[in-house]
Structure 1
């Protein structure tokens, strides 16, 4: 019985040492930090300007197509079947051009967004790594993640914002 008590005490010591070396985990409001960064605000404004310009270009082409459609529809009874067929083909080609412009604008936007956000994300990751090392965190998790059911640990958001000068 005495050996069992000593064994139990030894197991408890090992468990308590393991608990004392528990990993430090913190959370971070990633979107909150990103939204506070001036670089992201500028990138967002530049992307909005880019997108607005592309949409205006597409709208201009679509409006021209609508005007042609109205004109061709009004004139159709006075035209021959061949002329109407040629006009229909022209309108179909114009519609395809508009669809291609939309696809290209979307691809250009994604490429521009990725290029604009890459240095911002790199800077944030470097700061998060620095804060984690300085504060001794083993993990920093995104506080906005839906994987969290309960969160009551350390919040690293103020430390990261401070390190970024926000």
Structure 2
């Protein structure tokens, strides 16, 4: 009977030890920032930003010209003309505000679209490294998600090596 219980307990502990997971961590933002393609992404986003800025400058110049014109002609205008011109200026201000907001959103969309291929490649390499090293889970270290991380399980360097990136 003792032999049967010992055998069952041994099987239980063997099964339990095999079922354990191996969890690793990776600093994905560090890797993305070191990828050689990142320079191209930053350049594309910067160029896109310059295009948006030039469009905004055109609107700002037009607005300034209308404000100067209003100030110069204000004394000669009737009250109705003043109200109409003032409303036109207010509308231009609102358009410029919307353009500024949309520009920030469009910049973020452009950045996200440009980074998507890098994150896809990184994800594939992380999966390869994790499988090759027997990890069952890889967590990112970005943010304040962990109270403790054992550096022995951080695969950041392995992923950098696999991508051929030198620190």
TM-score by length of 1: 0.82
Q: Give the structure 2 partner of residue 157 of structure 1.
A: 156
- Long gaps (5+) in structure 1: none
Q: In the TM superposition, what is the alpha-carbon distance from 1:48 to its structure 2 partner?
A: 2.1
Stretches of 4+ moved more than 3 A in 1? 5-13
Q: Give the structure 2 partner of residue 147 of structure 1.
A: 145
What is the aligned counterpart of 1:36 among 34, 37, 57? Answer: 34
Mapped to 2, the partners of 1:138 and 1:93 lie a distance apart of: 57
**What's the C-alpha RMSD, in Å, of the aligned pairs?**
2.6
Question: How does 1:24-103 map onto structure 2 within 5 Å?
Answer: 24-103=22-101
Mapped to 1, the partners of 2:85 and 2:6 lie a distance apart of: 91
Mapped to 2, the partners of 1:11 and 1:147 lie a distance apart of: 36
Q: CA distance change for structure 1 residues 10 and 145 in 2, over 3 Å: closer, same or farther?
A: farther
Mapped to 2, the partners of 1:128 and 1:90 lie a distance apart of: 55
Mapped to 2, the partners of 1:57 and 1:87 lie a distance apart of: 23
Number of corresponding residues: 164
Q: In the TM superposition, what is the alpha-carbon distance from 1:124 to its structure 2 partner?
A: 0.6
TM-score by length of 2: 0.81
